[in-house]
Amino acid sequence: MFVNTFIRRPVLTTVCTLIILLLGSICIPILPISQLPDLAPVQITVSSNNIGADAQTTENTVTNIIERQINGVKDVSYISSNTGNDGSSNITVSFPTNVNSDIAQVNVQNKEALASPQLPDTVQRTGVTVETASSSLLLVYGFYSENNE
């Protein structure tokens, strides 16, 4: 049988395994990844910091005001927010996968600019950041050596 050949000859098994690994590593760069559909929705995060305020105050004076303005952005799937007890406010705006992330960011940034005059002075001084978030990354490893080898 075919399997018995590999059981009786472990060197042949090792050589075949190395050839398969080599061919696989050569083929990875030529895979058509760009033709695969995007599965994760486009996400835009709006972050601000209300220095010296608790969660309830930040929720009422920052998060709700920005959310009301962002609610009118075209093609929004859903909005989620998180307000910390240190005065931080993070709002995540999700769009369908077929929406251009750059245009979505500009639209959210324009709506945030309309809400900006209504925000407290501490938030206006520190600023509100609008960034594209990537939910496609599931895990990233970082390796380093302390002696630069």
Could you tell me if 46 and 70 are in contact, meaning their C-beta atoms sit under 8 angstroms apart? yes
**What is the pLDDT, as a whole number, of residue 137?**
54
Judge contact between 53 and 87, C-beta under 8 A.
yes
Q: Among all chains, which residue has been given the structure tokens 């999700």? A: 94
pLDDT digits (tens, 9 = 90+) for 95-122: 998 888 889 999 999 999 898 899 888 8
Instruction: Report if pTM > 0.75.
Output: no
Position 16 pLDDT exceeds 90 = yes
Reduced DSSP (H G I as helix, E B as strand, rest coil) percent helix, strand, coil of the chain, to 5: 50, 20, 35
Radius of gyration of the chain (CA): 25
Question: What pLDDT is recorded for position 124?
Answer: 86
What mean pLDDT is reported for the chain?
86
Phi, psi of 95 (to 5 degrees): -125, 160
Q: Where is pLDDT greater, at 83 or 39?
A: 83
